[in-house]
Amino acid sequence: MKTRRFYIALLTVVVVSLGLAQTTSSEKPPLLRDRGLQLGLQLGGLIGDNEQPKEMKIIRMDNLFVQLFETFSPRAFLDYGLMNHVRGQFGASFGKIVGRHYSTSLIPIDYRFLIVPTYSRGFSPYLYAGVGGLHYDVTVGASRISPGVEKSGWALYVPGGIGFVSQLSPRLALDFNLGYNYIFSDDINGRRGKEEEKDSYYSGRFGIRIPLGKTGEDREDELLKKKLAEQEQQQKEAQMRLAEEKRQKELQERKAKEEQLKKEQEALEAQKAKEAEKLKEAEKAKEPQKPAEPAMPVVPKPEVAKAEMKF
């Protein structure tokens, strides 16, 4: 019954998240597609899968804080893009799996590969698989523990599962996943099965992921701003060139007009001078002519006359 409630709660979270996903469509690239480093924080629950009956941690009001701390399993991870449709993720978490006769604290640390078949800001599904180490610490009654069981230690484990990311804003996205975690040990619940089956546990987590640096959307915005700034600068330079060309053209036109005006002024002055000269000649021609005076006889000088008388 408790397991059924757990899955109903997880299904409710999925439905709500899908509803949010329908309201976040955009033409900009989704956050999960970006290859930059991203931080994820999640909360969830664990259910053991072993020889004993599966039970979730029962929350009792007499010790609520401790019970909540033990029930909800937080996980933190760093996630980055390896190639198209493939991401790498390093994460660590802690939590408890609880059965009818045991309680085991778990600290799994793992590296996962995420396969993202399709990208969308509203809904980007993914598959994941990985490998890691799990530290466990079993609390079990003395009458329930199997011989040879190590109550505390490390074990190799393999996580795998499905999930999706729904982006709410350029720098915030929801991340939900369900997984199955196979442990290469049969000591996790304090008892060993007759058939030497290994222990494992189910996990379900819901949280957020945020980029730690510039996202593809940020870079696109920067490129767009840079392009717009370049276009604006080019427009300013083009306007300046047009203004300079217009100024030079106006200057040449004004110079040509001045030269033309100077030529016309010189031609007008030459015409006036020519007309004045003609008018002067015409007035001179109209003046009366004075009669010519008779020529006076030449009287020789006395010395010249005396010289001539001696001969």
Tokens standing for residue 236: 């300013």
Inter-residue contact 117 to 109 (CB < 8 Å): no
Q: What is the pLDDT along the chain (311 residues), one digit of tens a residue?
A: 444 554 455 555 555 544 444 444 445 567 788 888 999 999 998 888 887 655 444 444 444 444 444 567 899 999 998 988 999 999 999 998 887 788 899 999 999 999 999 888 888 999 999 999 999 999 887 667 788 888 899 999 999 999 999 988 888 999 999 999 999 998 888 888 766 678 899 999 999 999 987 766 666 677 778 888 888 888 888 888 888 888 888 888 888 888 888 888 888 888 878 877 777 777 777 766 666 566 566 666 666 555 555 55
Residues 32, 217: Cα–Cα separation, whole Å: 11
β-strand 102-115 against 124-140: which pairing, if any? antiparallel
Q: If we measure between CA atoms, which residue out of 151, 75, 61 comes closest to residue 112? A: 75
Q: If we measure between CA atoms, which residue out of 155, 163, 6 comes closest to residue 73? A: 6
Count how many Cα atoms sit within 13 Å of the Cα of residue 2 in the half-sphere of its side chain: 14
pLDDT at position 31 is: 78
β-strand 75-83 against 38-49: which pairing, if any? antiparallel
Residues 269, 272: Cα–Cα separation, whole Å: 5
pLDDT at position 250 is: 87
pLDDT at position 134 is: 95
pLDDT at position 215 is: 64
pLDDT at position 125 is: 92
pLDDT at position 119 is: 85
Q: What secondary structure does DSSP assign to 1-53, as a single string? A: -HHHHHHHHHHHHHHHHHHHHTT---SSPPGGG--S-EEEEEEEEEEEESSSP
Residues 95, 107: Cα–Cα separation, whole Å: 7
List Cβ neighbours of 112 (8 Å cut-off, separation of 6 or more).
88, 89, 90, 91, 128, 129, 130, 159
